[in-house]
Structure 1
Amino acid sequence: MDWQFGGIPLHPLFVHLTSVAVPVAALTAIAVAVWPAARRWFAVGAPIVGLVALVSVPLATSSGEWLEHREKETALLERHTELADGMLPWSIAVFALLTLWWAWHRFGTTRVTSGGVVRAVRIVGPVLLVAVAAVSIIEVVIIGHAGAASVWNG
């Protein structure tokens, strides 16, 4: 695929989408994990935000790989591309956990009668959501910084 429009690479566009969508999805995950009112406000919107973030990552990495083959190879660019390869699993985790958390509160809490299961989900769910969200924010910042360094210092 030709990852350009009008002769301009699309990678910066997808990078900006990812740089916004991933932290927004992560902050949404944290909000629904720790604030019950946020679950009602976001409802199915939380997994949709997670899906947008998830879709943005392969767009950014694929367009970046296309651009990488057209640029001079440097250590900074290599570091950026290696780091970027690690973003997809975190985006999948945020999306999956947001979807499961939404589904649990939409369907599971009324169907599961075991108090132990409910307590376990109420403890483990938020911890996982917050941990995965925090790591995804850290990852996107580190990857973005490495990309900026490769452009401005490379």
Structure 2
Amino acid sequence: MNWQFGGIPLHPLFVHLTSVAVPVAALVAIAVAAWPAARRWLAVGAPIIGLVALVSVPLATSSGEWLEHHEEETALLERHTHLADGLLPWSIAVFALLTLWWGWQRFGVARVDARGLVRAVGIVGPVLLVAAGIGSLIEVVVIGHAGAVSVWKG
């Protein structure tokens, strides 16, 4: 696919979408894990935010791979593209966990009779959400920094 519009590469546009959507989804994951009121306020909006972040990642990486083939390859650019490949698993985790947590809060808690299961999910779910959120935040910052360095110093 030709990842440009009017002769201008689309990668910066998708990178800005990703650099906003992924941290917002990560912060939403942390908020719904730590703050019960956020679960009610965000409800199905949390998985939708996670989905936007998830969709933005392949757009950014695909357009970045296209741009990489049209630019001079440097060690800094290679580092950036290598790091960028690590964001998709984090985004999948955030989206999946937000969706599962929303489903559990909406449908699971009220219908399960086993108090031990409710307690276990109530502990494990938030821990996984926070871990995925923090992991994706770190990953997007590291990737973004490497990209900025490759553009401005490369």
TM range (shorter): over 0.9
Q: Distance in 1 between matches of 2:85 and 2:38?
A: 31
Q: Distance in 2 between matches of 1:68 and 1:129?
A: 33
Q: Distance in 1 between matches of 2:114 and 2:23?
A: 35
Pairing of 1:17-36 with structure 2 (within 5 A): 17-36=17-36
Pairing of 1:5-154 with structure 2 (within 5 A): 5-154=5-154
Q: Distance in 2 between matches of 1:89 and 1:69?
A: 24
Q: Which amino acid aligns with 1:151?
A: V
**Partner SS state of residue 71, structure 1:** coil
CA deviations 1:45-96 (Å, max 9, x no partner) are 0000000000000000000000000000000000000000010000000000
Q: Distance in 1 between matches of 2:32 and 2:133?
A: 11
Q: Distance in 1 between matches of 2:55 and 2:104?
A: 23
Give 1:31 shift: 0.4
**Partner SS state of residue 65, structure 1:** helix
Q: Distance in 1 between matches of 2:25 and 2:113?
A: 30
Q: Which amino acid aligns with 1:35?
A: W
Q: Distance in 2 between matches of 1:130 and 1:140?
A: 15
% identical aligned pairs: 83
Q: Distance in 1 between matches of 2:37 and 2:123?
A: 17
Q: Distance in 2 between matches of 1:123 and 1:54?
A: 25
**TM-score, reference length from structure 1:** 1.00
Q: What is aligned with 2:2?
A: 2
**Partner SS state of residue 50, structure 2:** helix
Gaps of 5+ in 1: none
The CA RMSD over aligned residues, in Å, is 0.3
Q: How many residue pairs are counted as aligned between the two chains?
A: 154
CA deviations 1:20-65 (Å, max 9, x no partner) are 0000000000000010000000000000000000000000000000
Gaps of 5+ in 2: none
**Partner SS state of residue 113, structure 2:** coil
Q: Where in structure 1 do 4 or more consecutive aligned residues deviate above 2 Å? A: none
